[in-house]
Amino acid sequence: MKLHKHKPLTELNKMKKLSVIFVLVIGIMLLSCSDIKRKPGAIYMPDMAYSRAYETYIVRDSTKFTTDINHTDDKIFYNNMPVAGTIARGEEMPFPLAKDAPGDSTNYVASRQIQNPLPALNGKDMKEAERLYLINCAICHGVTLNGNGPLYKDGSGPYAPKPATLVGDPKYAAMPEGQMFYSVTYGKNLMGSYASQVNRKQRWMIIHYIKAQQSAAAAKAAPSATDSTKKSTKSGAADSTKKSTK
């Protein structure tokens, strides 16, 4: 009997409890909604949400990230560039000539006198110079330095100006290394500067490589210059057989 009476009462209590919990939960859910959706009230591990990495070109509050006690500017601009006037370990000395003002060619002409500071490259360094050339220059100047890289493609490529024929044009065969360095460093007409892609030492290495390729081509051409008619037909035949076997 007691058991019978007791049962419906607990059911009722349970129902009451449940509805109270239900109302509370709905209430909390409604309260926790807010207009500002992008800012959570608390962040777990803030360093993961907001990176403290010193990214390039980022502006930071100096008091938070350094021991700047003077609070002079309170802003630090990170462009990750070395301090002006410093030279990285193992890097070559800076080029002594500045870039000419537009329309001026004083330093371009003067650069002819500047010698390559690197001694002749050994086999390993020459291989590295070739690698650097192929990565940075061959796209325009061609793998064989003929001024006809895939970007130019006989004028049908996406890059309109004709790159210099570094091997096969007497003008560039005669160009002194200092002047080449000037052009690669500061740019020449429609060729941009390569100073940020290849450092000074690498640029001088590439120029060694260009000069070596020019001398190799000159040495190859020299014997045929003696009896031109015979050799030209011969080399043409040799070329075609080479191509057919390849």
Binding site for ligand HEC (CB under 6 A): 136-137, 139-141, 151, 159, 161, 163-164, 179-180, 183-184, 188-191, 194, 198, 206
| Whole-angstrom distance, CA of residue 203 vs CA of residue 214 | 17
Q: CB of residue 189 vs ligand HEC: minimum separation in angstroms?
A: 3
Q: Do residues 143 and 163 touch, judged by C-beta distance below 8 A? A: no
Q: CB of residue 123 vs ligand HEC: minimum separation in angstroms?
A: 20
Give whichever of 148 and 179 is closer to ligand HEC, judged by the CB atom.
Answer: 179
Give whichever of 76 and 191 is closer to ligand HEC, judged by the CB atom.
Answer: 191
Using CA atoms, how far residue 16 sits from 1, 5, 19, 25, 39, in Å, is 24, 18, 5, 14, 37
Q: How far is CA 227 from the centre of its chain?
A: 48
Q: CB of residue 79 vs ligand HEC: minimum separation in angstroms?
A: 23
Q: Do residues 95 and 114 touch, judged by C-beta distance below 8 A? A: yes
Give whichever of 68 and 176 is closer to ligand HEC, judged by the CB atom.
Answer: 176
Give whichever of 20 and 135 is closer to ligand HEC, judged by the CB atom.
Answer: 135
In eight-state DSSP terms, residue 188 is B
Report the phi/psi class of residue 187: left, alpha or beta, with left for phi > 0 and alpha for psi in -120 to 50: left
Q: Do residues 211 and 177 touch, judged by C-beta distance below 8 A? A: yes
Q: CB of residue 56 vs ligand HEC: minimum separation in angstroms?
A: 23
Give whichever of 63 and 165 is closer to ligand HEC, judged by the CB atom.
Answer: 165
Show the tokens assigned to 2: 């007691």
Task: For the beta carbon of residue 187, count every other beta carbon within 10 angstroms.
Answer: 14
DSSP string of 143-162, one letter each residue: TTSSS--TTTGGGTSS--SP
Q: CB of residue 214 vs ligand HEC: minimum separation in angstroms?
A: 11
Q: CB of residue 186 vs ligand HEC: minimum separation in angstroms?
A: 10
Give whichever of 62 and 198 is closer to ligand HEC, judged by the CB atom.
Answer: 198
